[in-house]
């Protein structure tokens, strides 16, 4: 249903005398009543006020859309008004509101008001259109503007196949994935090039590319640091880059794709052409990304058990929780191994990767059955081993008679690859355990002396800020996960503190200096990124002024890591940021060092900015 079918000319007022929010709601209700949409305006008004109590419907950018679903509504409808001088409607952005729409829906309308709300919100996203409505000289012009906008949107929908397609994916599937998608979409709009972006995030695949999309596009951009489904792009021109390039080089990538640049993709051959270091990183991150939910859940359950440690042996619910936590922990290394193998050799490698990971986490070897902590390094090696064994078997099986091809994937391949990998890991595990023990002993030695422990924390914290989600950042993060699985929780606290500092520094600088960043709203959003341990929120700002912002962030992140070690802070979860502050050992010290490091980073940023201007 169109907005113009819900909005009657009698329910529009372009010049009301309104002074406050209550009067605005009263006037909009009266307008809706005048158009015959209500059968009891007091009952309807009560539903609107109840909705306002939950949260303001002033959505920002000068727009408010109060709404209600009530027995007082006869038929679904809209009222609208413009307050040209602006009104304080308690909007989310704290700015005056000029443009008002009120939605009324009958009690049994099954969410009609929500559909209207979604349509309105979409239409009002463009600033030029909002300004045109505010400056409309008549009710007729007001309606015509909306009608023209809706018809234009319908024409846009007729573009079925975008010229350029893109896929974005990062190991954690939180920040880089969606930042790259947004940058590519904005680049397409700026260049007037139709583009569709698929995101492979933590919630799975969104806006998935269809086979028809793929067949009709000029080229496909794959900005990913983990495995995505590539076989569907067979024979198409593909541009493969790290996910960071999807953020920083979005316009260049969209232009190349629209020009038909890129290599013709062949699924079996492409893996050999990629850079060996990038391939290693991609396979490793595919394993880590799939294991992250297990790591976080295990860590949180461990934190709950730690809070009630005196009751764990007597309380049945806590005993069950402990059993579940142990089972989830056992799954972590097999999951990492399996998905590394899957990234290398697709599904045929998963079973042998999983089996190799089980050998590692159970400590099974030719010498003994170890009860020590599992080795992440050994699990990673098992995954790569399984992947390459599967690739070799696939090559060998290509010579099988055609009559045996049907049972190759279901019988020969999984059984033979699993036998080979388990035998190899059975032999290698004792040697890998020696290496694992050596690393643990070395880290324990470093952490035994305060001077080296603080320096260790400084390095880890600084690594998290150097490339904010890039290879150096992920190296520190994966190392800390390995220590976490070996029951050393200090490095993870240092890494998490270091990763939170860059977005906090950006946000605090924007708070203190309103004109420091052109996109101040995005800068302030970094408070949320910091609290959530999403260091990638600082990337757009660092990229624009890397010579100034990057040193300030690195030094302050290093300081946070060093102080975390100094105050013996630790955490058993690899993600969550300050939302899991209750799990941190010495939480007051942890909060204090984060605040202190943020202040230092902000002061350094202001100082470096001043020095650059003077030079």
Catalytic residue numbers read: 67, 170
Instruction: List the Cα angle 146/150/156 in 5-degree steps.
Output: 145
Are 97 and 16 contacting, i.e. CB atoms less than 8 angstroms apart?
Answer: no
576 φ, ψ (degrees, to nearest 5): 120, -25
Q: Which two tokens stand for residue 516?
A: 């420091």
Pairing mode, if any, of strands 63-64 and 67-70?
unpaired
Chain-centroid distance of CA 504 in Å reads: 18
Which residues, 6+ apart, have CB-to-CB distance to 183 below 8 Å? Answer: 246, 247, 248, 250
Q: Which two tokens stand for residue 332?
A: 């972590």
Q: Which residues pair with residue 222 across a beta bridge?
A: 167, 240
Are 556 and 505 contacting, i.e. CB atoms less than 8 angstroms apart?
Answer: yes
Cα distances (angstroms) measured from residue 546 to each of 461, 551, 553? 18, 8, 10
CA dist 490 and 194 (Å) reads 48
Q: Which two tokens stand for residue 61?
A: 């950018």
365: which DSSP letter? Answer: -
Instruction: List the Cα angle 235/236/237 in 5-degree steps.
Output: 130
DSSP per residue, 112-150: HHHHHHHHHHHHTT-HHHHHHHHT-SSHHHHHHHHHHHH
Are 363 and 372 contacting, i.e. CB atoms less than 8 angstroms apart?
Answer: yes
CA dist 211 and 605 (Å) reads 48
CA dist 210 and 4 (Å) reads 33
CA dist 166 and 183 (Å) reads 11
CA dist 393 and 227 (Å) reads 21
Closest CA to 418 of 374, 370, 357: 357
């Amino acid at each position: 249903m169109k907005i113009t079918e819900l909005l009657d000319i009698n329910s529009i007022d372009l010049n009301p005398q309104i002074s406050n929010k209550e009067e605005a709601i009263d006037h909009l209700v009266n307008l809706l009543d005048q158009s015959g949409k209500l059968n009891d305006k007091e009952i309807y008004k009560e539903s609107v006020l109840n909705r306002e109590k939950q949260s303001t419907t002033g959505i920002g950018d000068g727009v408010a859309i109060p709404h209600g679903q009530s027995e007082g509504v006869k038929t679904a409808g809209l009222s609208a008004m413009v307050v040209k001088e602006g009104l304080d409607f308690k909007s989310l952005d704290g700015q005056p509101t000029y443009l008002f729409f009120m939605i009324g829906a009958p009690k049994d309308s099954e969410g009609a008001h929500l559909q209207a709300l979604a349509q309105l919100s979409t239409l009002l996203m463009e600033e030029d259109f909002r300004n045109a409505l505010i400056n409309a000289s008549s009710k007729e012009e007001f309606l015509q503007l909306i009608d023209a906008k809706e018809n234009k949107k319908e024409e846009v929908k007729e573009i079925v196949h975008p010229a350029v397609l893109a896929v974005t994916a990062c190991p954690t599937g939180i920040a880089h994935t969606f930042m790259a998608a947004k940058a590519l979409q904005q680049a397409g709009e700026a260049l007037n090039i139709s583009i569709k972006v698929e995101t492979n995030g933590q919630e799975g695949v969104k806006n998935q590319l269809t086979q028809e999309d793929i067949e009709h596009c000029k080229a496909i951009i794959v900005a990913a640091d983990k495995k995505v489904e590539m076989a569907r792009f067979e024979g198409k021109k593909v541009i493969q880059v790290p996910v960071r390039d999807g953020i920083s080089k979005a316009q260049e990538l969209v232009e190349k794709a629209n020009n038909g640049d890129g290599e013709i993709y062949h699924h079996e051959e492409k893996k050999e052409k990629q850079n060996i270091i990038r391939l290693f990183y991609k396979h490793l991150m595919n394993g880590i990304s799939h294991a992250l939910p297990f790591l976080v859940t295990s860590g949180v359950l461990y934190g709950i058990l730690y809070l009630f440690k005196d009751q764990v042996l007597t309380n049945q619910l806590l005993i069950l929780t402990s059993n579940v936590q142990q089972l989830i922990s056992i799954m972590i290394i097999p999951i990492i191994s399996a998905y590394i193998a899957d990234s290398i050799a697709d599904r045929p490698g998963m079973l042998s990767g999983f089996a190799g990971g089980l050998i590692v986490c159970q400590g099974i070897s030719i010498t003994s059955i170890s009860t020590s902590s599992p080795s992440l390094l050994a699990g990673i090696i098992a995954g790569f081993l399984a992947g390459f064994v599967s690739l070799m078997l696939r090559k060998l099986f290509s010579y099988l008679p055609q009559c045996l091809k049907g049972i190759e994937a279901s019988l020969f391949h999984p059984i033979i690859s699993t036998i080979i990998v388990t035998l190899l890991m059975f032999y290698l595990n004792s040697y890998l355990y020696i290496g694992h023990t050596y690393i643990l002993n070395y880290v324990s030695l470093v952490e035994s002396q305060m001077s080296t422990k603080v320096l260790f924390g400084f390095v880890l914290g600084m690594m998290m800020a150097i490339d904010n989600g890039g290879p150096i950042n992920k190296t520190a993060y994966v190392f800390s996960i390995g220590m976490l699985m070996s029951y050393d929780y200090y490095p993870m606290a240092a890494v998490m503190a270091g990763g939170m500092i860059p977005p906090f520094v950006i946000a605090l600088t924007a708070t203190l200096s309103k004109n420091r960043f052109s996109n101040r709203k995005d800068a302030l959003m970094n408070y949320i990124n910091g609290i959530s341990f999403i260091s990638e929120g600082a990337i757009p700002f660092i990229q624009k002024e890397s010579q100034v912002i990057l040193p300030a962030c690195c030094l302050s992140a290093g300081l946070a890591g060093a102080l975390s070690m100094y105050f013996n802070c630790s955490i058993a979860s690899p993600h969550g940021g300050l939302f899991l502050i209750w799990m941190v050992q010495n939480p007051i010290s942890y909060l204090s060092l984060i605040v202190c490091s943020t202040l230092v980073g902000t002061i350094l940023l202001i100082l470096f900015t001043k020095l650059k201007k003077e030079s």
